Amino acid sequence: MPTRIQKEARQGTMLLNMGPSHPAMHGTIRIMLELDSERILNSEVEVGYLHRGFEKQCENRTYFNLLPYTDRLNYVSPLINNLGYVMTVEKMFGVEVPERAQYIRVIMSELSRISDHLTCLAAMAMECGAFTVFLYKMKAREFIWDVIEQTTGARMTTSYIRIGGVRADLEPNFAAALEKAIKETRAVLKDVHGLLDKNKIFLNRTRDVAVMTPENAIAYGWTGPCLRSTGVYYDVRKAHPYLTYNRLNFEVPLGERGDNFDRYLVRMKEMDQSLRIIEQAATHLPETPAGVMAQDVEPAEAIKESRRKKVRTGVRLSPNLEGSEKDKYKNILAAEKGYVVPPKEETYTSIEGLINHFMFFMRGHGIRPPQGEVYFSVEGGNGELGFYIVSDGTDRPYRLHLRAPCFHIVAALEHLIKGRYVADVIPTFGSMNMIGGELDR
C-alpha cells in the first residue's frame, strides 16, 4: 500500500528513507523524506515500531502488578513514570503519603529528570560531532545512576515508587553518594556549557534551525522543556503542584526563539534547577531512626517456632528487603492497610500476617480503587506525563491511557523539518528527545 508521501510525491524528486534503523536515530522511527537534492520538500514520520500494547496489558494486570510495565515507558527516567502512575491511583483513593516518602520521591524524580536530559543532550551533541560532550554527560549520568541503583536496587527498571509510598528507605550512606553525584554533575554541566555554548559548529547546526512558534507549540500540545523553549511558561510542578514541590524554591527556565539551541539551553538550565531542588529536598528530608537489620532468627526458624508459641523476637529478612523492615513502614509508606504490601516480618511469623499477605496478592482482592475515572499528570522528562485511569471497582484498571509527552512532540517533526536540509533532521530530532517506549507504548 503506498504511503501518503508516495502518493503526494512530485515529479523529479527523490524519496529517501531515514530509519527505521539509522545510526543517527536513537530509537526506531522511520522518516520518509521527499528531497529536491538536499532540500526537504515533504516528509512523513512513521511510528509504532516499538508498540507492545502497554495499555492492553495494563487492563489485564492488577494495579500492583502493572507497575513494572510503567518502568518501560520512558526507560531513561523510569522513576517519573512510576510516580505518575502511582499518584494517579493514589488520587483515586485519596492516600496520605508520609513526608519522608514524599521527599524521597522528589529527589528520585529530579534525579531521573537530570538523567533524562543528560541522555537527550548527550545524544544530540554526539550527533552534531561533539563526542567529548557525549562522554562527559554519560559520566555524570553514571554517578546519578549509582545513587538510583543504591536506593532502588536497579538502574533502569526500578519499580521503586509504590502505591502509598516507596519500596524501601534510603541507604545509610545515601547522603554521601548524592553529594558526590551532585558535585560531579555540576562540574560536567559547567564543562559542557564551555564546550557547546559558543561552539561555532554546534551553533550553526542548532541556532535558528527548526524554529517553533509558541502558538504552534500549543496547537501541537507540546509540554515540558520543548514548550518552554518557545517561551511559554507551563510546568506541571508549578501549575498543579504535587508532592512537596510548592515548598521548594526553583525557577522555570524559558527560551526565547524555540529553536534547537533553545531546546538545548532550556534542558541545561533545567538540570541546574533540578540539582537545586535535590539539595533542598535532601536538607528537608525528615530524619528516620537508623535502621538496624534484625540479627535474630531466620524466617524458617521463626515459622518453626511460631507453630508452638507466638514469636516475639525479630526475623532476619533477605538482604533484598533491606530498607523495608517493619519499623520503617511508618516513614515510607501510608498507614492504611489494603494498598500497601504487608510487612514481611508479619507474613513470616503470624497467621494474620499471612492472611493479609494473601488478601493483598490474591486475584480479585488487593488494591481496588473505587469506581470512577481520574486524570493525573506529573512533569516528566519530556513534559506532561498524564495517566487516565477508568476503574470499575475491580482489582485491575478497566482502561488505562497514557498521555505520552513525546507523542505530541514527534507529531510536529514533519512540520519542523519542512524546507530544511537533510543534515538539519539530526539535531532537530535529537533535541526532541524521542523515546520509543513512551511514544509507541
Interface residue with other proteins among 17, 21, 60, 313 (CB under 8 A) is 60
Q: Single out the residue of 20, 55, 193, 338 in contact with other proteins (rule: CB under 8 A).
A: 55
Grid cell at residue 96: 496520605
Coil, strand or helix at 164: coil
Beta carbons of 423 and 403 less than 8 angstroms apart: no
Does the protein bind other proteins through residue 105 (CB under 8 A)? no
Cell numbers for 51, please give them. 508498540
Instruction: Please report, as residue ranges, which positions from 133 to 192 form the binding site for other proteins (by CB under 8 A).
Output: none
Pick between residue 51 and residue 365 the one whose CB is nearest to other proteins. 51
Cβ atoms of 376 and 84 within 8 Å: the answer is: yes
Instruction: For other proteins, give the closer residue by CB, 29 or 122.
Output: 29
Q: Would you say 232 or 266 has its CB closer to other proteins?
A: 232
Least distance (Å) from other proteins to the CB of residue 364?
A: 18
Spatial distance between the Cα atoms of 439 and 190, rounded to a whole number of angstroms: 31
Q: Kindly compute the dihedral angle of the four CA atoms of residues 180, 182, 187, 193, in this order, to the nearest 10 degrees.
A: 160
Question: In angstroms, how far apart are the furthest CA atoms of the chain?
Answer: 89
Q: Does 218 bind other proteins (CB under 8 A)?
A: yes
Residue 5 or 332 having the CB closest to other proteins: 5
| Residue with Cβ nearer other proteins (64 or 242) | 242
List CB contacts of 330: < 8 A, sequence separation 6 or more.
98
Binding test (CB under 8 A) with other proteins, winner from 180, 190, 337, 415:
415
Of residues 246 and 295, the one with the C-beta less far from other proteins: 246
Residues 400 and 58: beta-carbon distance below 8 Å: yes
Q: Pick from 412, 416, 426, 432 the residue near other proteins by CB under 8 A.
A: 412
Helical packing angle, 174-196 and 131-152, nearest 10°: 160
- Nearer CB in complex with other proteins: 122/412: 412
For residue 370, the minimal CB distance to other proteins (Å) is 10
Binding marks (x or -) toward other proteins, 223..262, rule CB under 8 A?
---------x-x----xx----------------------
CB of 96 to other proteins, least distance (A): 15
Q: Which amino acid is at 85?
A: Y
Q: Which of 17, 21, 53, 304 binds other proteins (CB under 8 A)?
A: 53
Instruction: Give whichever of 153 and 214 is closer to other proteins, judged by the CB atom.
Output: 214
Report the run of H or E that residue 41 belongs to, with start and end. Answer: strand 39-46
Contact status: 216 vs other proteins (CB under 8 A): yes
CB atoms within 10 A of CB 373: 13
Nearest distance in Å: CB 86, other proteins: 16
CB of 345 to other proteins, least distance (A): 35
Cβ proximity to other proteins: between 344 and 441 the closer is 441
By CB under 8 A, name the one of 20, 221, 231, 299 that touches other proteins: 221
Interaction of residue 350 with other proteins, rule CB under 8 A:
no
Q: How far apart are CA 290 and CA 259, in angstroms?
A: 49
Q: What span, in angstroms and rounded, lies between the C-alpha atoms of 189 and 192?
A: 5
Nearest Cα to 105, choosing from 286, 322, 281? Answer: 281
| Residue with Cβ nearer other proteins (194 or 241) | 241
DSSP state of 326: G
Interacting residue with other proteins among 29, 33, 47, 275 (CB under 8 A): 47
Burial level of 14, CB count in 10 A (0-12/13-18/19+)? Answer: exposed
Nearest Cα residue to 47 out of 69, 25, 76: 25
Question: 3-state DSSP call for residue 384?
Answer: strand
| DSSP assignment of 55-107 | HHHHHTS-TTTTHHHHHTTSTTSHHHHHHHHHHHHHHHHTPPPPHHHHHHHHH
Q: How far is the CB of 181 from other proteins (least distance, A)?
A: 33
253 vs 314 by CB, closer to other proteins: 253
Please compute Rg for the chain using Cα positions. 24
CB of 39 to other proteins, least distance (A): 23
Nearest to 169 by CA among 293, 75, 82: 293
Interface positions, 352-411, toward other proteins (CB under 8 A): 372-375, 377, 384, 386, 388, 390, 398-399, 401, 403, 407-408, 411
Least Å from the CB of residue 336 to other proteins: 17
Closest C-alpha to 319, from 290, 339, 298, 348: 298
Looking at the Cβ atoms of 214 and 338, the one nearer to other proteins is: 214
Binding site for other proteins (CB under 8 A): 1, 4, 47-48, 51, 53, 55-57, 60, 91-92, 216, 218-221, 232, 234, 239-240, 372-375, 377, 384, 386, 388, 390, 398-399, 401, 403, 407-408, 411-412, 415, 440-441
